[in-house]
Amino acid sequence: MKKTSFISLLFILVLIINLYPQKLEQPKLVVGIVVDQMRFNDLYRYYDLYSENGFKRLLNEGSNFTNAHYNYIPTNTGPGHASIYTGTTPYYHGIVNNDFYDREQKKSVYCVDDPDVQSVGSNDDEGKKSPKYLLATTITDALKLFTNKKSKVISISIKDRSAILPAGHMPDGVYWYNFKTGDFISSTYYMKDLPDWVKKFNGKKLADKFLSAEWNLLLDKKFYEINSPDESPYEPDFFKEGKKSFPHTFKNLSGNEKYNALAFTPFVHEMMIEFTMSAIQNENLGRNSVPDFLAISFSSTDLIGHTWGNYSYELMDTYLRLDKLLADFLNYLDKEIGPNNYLLFLTADHAAIETPGYLKENRIPTGELQNSRILDSLKAFTNRKYGTDKVIEYYSYGFVYLDKNVIEQKSLNYYKIEKEISKYLRDVFPEIQTIATRSDLEKSIASRNNDNLILNGWHPSKSADIIFTLRPNYLFRFLERGTTHGTSYTYDTHIPLIFYGWRIPKQEVNEKVFIV
């Protein structure tokens, strides 16, 4: 299959680097936008209700890649953001999942946790984060290196990992939302203290303002009826109101619980855009001849999707409101930076499945293979076969880690165990679709194509010894409500990819391309 190199986000940097020494025209600002969990069809499902200057502006005036996909598993937030900004897969950048097992520490670790740094802007541990597990350089790193740190790189998100991974290793500022306090915070990896403008912004307590508001539908209810009913069995009573339908308020939530809940509404996106515009102003982004980079990631689409599902009134309303915010932000960039002075891309870190409970009710094949069932079965099998279940060091969500020390101590054959466990899993669990072993994967090298999505998402020193996937629409934990993601199937891999602005042609590309 022909590969379209234009889809690599590193192409943006190539443009900048090629033009920079020649003092020719170049963008003053590159803006990367990730909409967490946005599916490609979200661009068109509500197209007629979008404004002319938000998503439609990008679609109609930019380069729209209609068949863009991820080419690895698992399709989750950490690997997604790392892949977008490194231009490669987890095989190389090392962010193999949001959480993954660390053999040295003998425990599961979060992809941006770092106990050696401290929170900046809060007294809790929410800021003890850094890119320590990110092994590859990002486009933002490359820009800083090429311009000898003269370019500024600022990254902002609601989720910590969605701010940290795009920023790379040498940014000027990285900020994320504190789910406990409603402030934007950072870590000592980046700075000793928050800039004055961030302190001033936090001092406004915008979160408290939004917490006193009521979440009503943006449009008349009739426009939302293309979705599941508002009072749906596939949704929770998240706000503890005794109902599931609009309007929603925070009044029945207590204490810090409210700040967490705010992230599950479109209001937090409004707060983030205000923070982003403050960053542009106070950090003087895009104001001189050296290109700067602004990375922003909208996280609430993911949180709301997980909670209420793809076809909920809540998620639809969030996209309609995000469209208005996007229109305002593009107009702001036109005014402050100049319409021909910025280059922007919009994509997503993954997509999502339909609500499994809804699929089941409508007789679409679906089901689950619980972690506990797998682990109990593996322990029983290995005890019978090898006299110990300790050959299994760790298991989670299709990832089986073998303990090589135990295998050596018992004078067992690693390759035989690998093969026998794989055969056992295949024979016992019909829910399993594909199985790969370390021996299989080490024979190949990851590539841009999607011939082996397990290989592309596997890292030789970080990943499991045996990996398996489930049949389409099957999960490790069945969901009656909301949605999830992580598989290699189109419902999880197909995402928006749009380039807009400086020297970007107006075009629609229907050829299948990959995010890296």
Residues 10 and 153 occupy one common structural domain = yes
Check 66, 77, 366, 469 and give the catalytic one. Answer: 77
Q: Is residue 365 part of a domain?
A: no
Q: Is residue 481 part of a domain?
A: no
Q: Is residue 121 part of a domain?
A: yes
Residues 29 and 73 occupy one common structural domain = yes
Residues 419 and 301 occupy one common structural domain = no
Q: Is residue 104 part of a domain?
A: yes
| CA dist., res. 169 & res. 269, Å (int) | 25
Q: What is the CATH number of the domain that holds 413?
A: 3.30.1360.150
Which structural domain, as residue segments, surrounds residue 353?
A: 5-359+487-514
- Does the active-site annotation cover 77? yes
User: Nearest-5° angle of CA 161, CA 162, CA 163?
Assistant: 90
Residues 309 and 191 occupy one common structural domain = yes
Residues 156 and 212 occupy one common structural domain = yes
Q: What are the residues facing 344 on neighbouring strands?
A: 31, 500
Residues 129 and 239 occupy one common structural domain = yes
Alpha helix segments (H runs only) across 337-451: 356-361, 371-386, 404-409, 414-428, 438-441
Q: What is the CATH number of the domain that holds 95?
A: 3.40.720.10
Per-residue pLDDT of the chain (516 residues), as tens digits, is 344 433 455 455 545 545 445 555 789 999 999 999 999 999 999 999 999 999 999 999 999 999 999 999 999 999 999 999 999 999 999 999 999 999 999 999 999 999 999 999 999 999 999 999 999 999 999 999 999 999 999 999 999 999 999 999 999 999 999 999 999 999 999 999 999 999 999 999 999 999 999 999 999 999 999 998 999 999 999 999 999 999 999 999 998 899 999 999 999 999 999 999 999 999 999 999 999 999 999 999 999 999 999 999 999 999 999 999 999 999 999 999 999 999 999 999 999 999 999 999 999 999 999 999 999 999 999 999 999 999 999 999 999 999 999 999 999 999 999 999 999 999 999 999 999 999 999 999 888 777 799 999 999 999 999 999 999 999 999 999 999 999 999 999 999 999 999 999 999 999 999 998
Number of domains the chain is built from = 2
Residues 352 and 375 occupy one common structural domain = no
- What's at 253, amino acid-wise? L
> Nearest Cα to 230, choosing from 318, 312, 109, 157?
312
| CA dist., res. 285 & res. 97, Å (int) | 32
Question: pTM to 2 decimals?
Answer: 0.96
Q: Is residue 141 part of a domain?
A: yes
Residues 321 and 248 occupy one common structural domain = yes
Q: Is residue 480 part of a domain?
A: no
309 in Cβ contact with 234 (< 8 Å): yes
Q: Is residue 302 part of a domain?
A: yes
Residues 374 and 414 occupy one common structural domain = yes
Please give the torsion angle defined by the CA atoms of residues 61, 62, 66 and 69, in that order, rounded to the nearest 10 degrees: -160
Residues 279 and 142 occupy one common structural domain = yes
Residues 282 and 406 occupy one common structural domain = no
> Is the bond preceding 247 in cis, omega lying within 30 degrees of 0?
yes
Residues 269 and 214 occupy one common structural domain = yes
User: Nearest-5° angle of CA 68, CA 74, CA 79?
Assistant: 75
Q: Is residue 477 part of a domain?
A: no
